[in-house]
Chain A
């Protein structure tokens, strides 16, 4: 052992890695934080303050950008623009195999996708934690809402989540900053849904600071400025990212050593001790190999990032991948149903408008298969959408030119309403990734091969997502109600989960109820790979709560000498 030895190693700096870094360092552990991408410090957001006229090419991707990003420029994604393309990986340098089509959108840099995430922050409830057990699908979650509730409180309070208290059993309330407001059409739609369907439409719960944080631990963060340019990175620290929130806290402890450009490709296992002793790292720039050692390791490299490391770590003890005694590693891939929605024209309200750009929309929480209702599919879905007044682009197909065109553009157009469904996907052993050892990336590492598709339950639910939305907008009295479909493969919701699931039985799951590997007690996994079921809520907040809980448990176990 040498100066490459730490108390803890955290792999990855996204939503879960940033939280692991903060918690472990604050609890006094000397922690090495590794990320495969470049360093991005809070404030290093090159396009954040650019006005529309300061971006070349109307912010569109160039031919060269498209050439380098054949995956990231698929119709289901919007990230390859002049203002955000630097946050997404080059597809030619980072290939994967699609035995079945899969949209894998990635950002390799410190902060990971916490910089570009959609910020929607919802709790899972007991409806979700009990679902697999009740339905006999996959395996039962080893935890219930009560186990996670205090940790949801803890992370919400720290990151700041704006939202409204609604008292819904299927969507537990949280520790909220003030809710943002619905505009006049959204309010009207909410009223009509309540009257005609007894369904709720609420303002989205978003990790943007609608008011100052209730604590003084993040002096670098100011309130949301309503620019709605979050994906570029926010110099005001108006939304939660690892860069704006958790990593500065970890930094301030003095206990963090952060190493960027460090590709972790293998776990180091000590047969005699029955423990992981460290990780093998490849320098992304120089190719130099380094080994780092620690007493406890947190894998937070993203669902497929973590899975890649584990599948690539074979030994006499783990011939099928690290910690894979169950044969479930890489299996049960889930992502939310995504890409189907409905839009409509809304007459009236010509004298109403809004000021500022709200980085948030409305949310219709799950209302299907609650209580005794039995639809022809399991689980449910929510909708995310918004209403707004049309902009100048509506005038392209109008017979207007010259001064008439200019004058018409000065006026906000008619109101439009649109919403998309986000549906739960069931875990299945038949949806999996493997390591293709015959194909290598530019670092010489084998690449992932995706075998994931939606099944019958997902197809039935998708139909109802569209039917219900059509019915709701029609019943609300809106015009020109029509479905839209974005061409999207599994993965497009960017909510990938499930490849190293939590469970009660080591024979059928990879992790226990503390996100700890059944087969190797000093390795914890708290990114999306730990998810036993997908629910239909955006999952990042749950990763944060699970991470904080797991870190607390890991430190207690270290103190007790159990790991």
Chain B
């Protein structure tokens, strides 16, 4: 599906049900994911479109940039290209394929509300899986994508500087201050990554 096809898909949604700003946000966000210079190396075009749509639900644009703005789809593509093992690659791709079949229609043919409902339902299913057990594949896909999205976003510049706060060179250390006086009172950005 190319961008034109996708927009056509979106515009067939019941326009009354989708407020204009969020429609704008979706298409802008999608445009950002399609930014020049990002051609997926690991995923097919169709696969990255699905991944991007889910990433956008997990950390959307609001008052601050979202995961698409932060280039998270490209980050996820790079992680699978260079970091994850063959087994991890296979696990994610097969989970993605299951996820594609989890809704009433292929994911990108669902409207926004249906997409959110499906992702939320599968996220809940993944969280209710017993400790040490792998969630069923479609749910596994959502939770893996959540981990990837959070890692990519909270290490990105907008994530670190607009949602969290980041001081490159603090210059001093205060061990115990009121939360409101710790910079802008938001959580400090930290360098950590979640395992897949």
Listed in ascending order, the chain A residues whose CB lies under 8 Å from chain B are 49, 51-53, 55-64, 180-184, 186-187, 225-227, 350-358, 389, 391-393, 395-399, 401-403, 405-406, 409-413
Contacts and interface: CB of A to CB of B under 8 A. Distances in A.
A62 B82 contact: yes
Nearest to A389: B187
A22 B50 CA distance: 60
Interface stretch (B12-20, B30-38, B57-65, B101-109): B57-65
A62 to B, nearest CB: 4
A356 B167 contact: yes
B186 A396 contact: no
- Interface residue range, chain B: 35 or more
Given A53-B159, A358-B173, A399-B127, 15 more contacts: A53-B156, A57-B83, A60-B193, A63-B85, A184-B175, A184-B176, A351-B178, A357-B173, A358-B175, A398-B127, A401-B119, A405-B59, A406-B60, A410-B163, A411-B187
Most buried by B among A49, A61, A392: A392
B52 interface: no
B177 A353 contact: yes
Most buried by A among B176, B185, B192: B176
Interface in B67-117: 75, 78-79, 82-85, 116
Nearest to B79: A57
Given A401-B120, A410-B187, A412-B187, A356 B82 contact: no
A350 B175 CA distance: 14
Nearest to A180: B173
Contacts of B147: 396
B120 to A, nearest CB: 6
Contacts of A409: 150, 154, 163-164, 187
B182 A226 contact: no
Nearest to B120: A401
Contacts of B183: 355
B170 interface: yes
B146 A396 contact: yes
Nearest to B148: A58
B182 A58 contact: no
Contacts of A397: 127
Interface string B181-196: 0110111111111100
A396 B194 contact: yes
B60 A356 contact: no
B176 A226 contact: no
B160 interface: yes
Given A184-B176, A409-B164, A392 B83 contact: no
Nearest to A360: B173
A405 B58 CA distance: 8
Contacts of B156: 52-53
A352 B187 contact: no
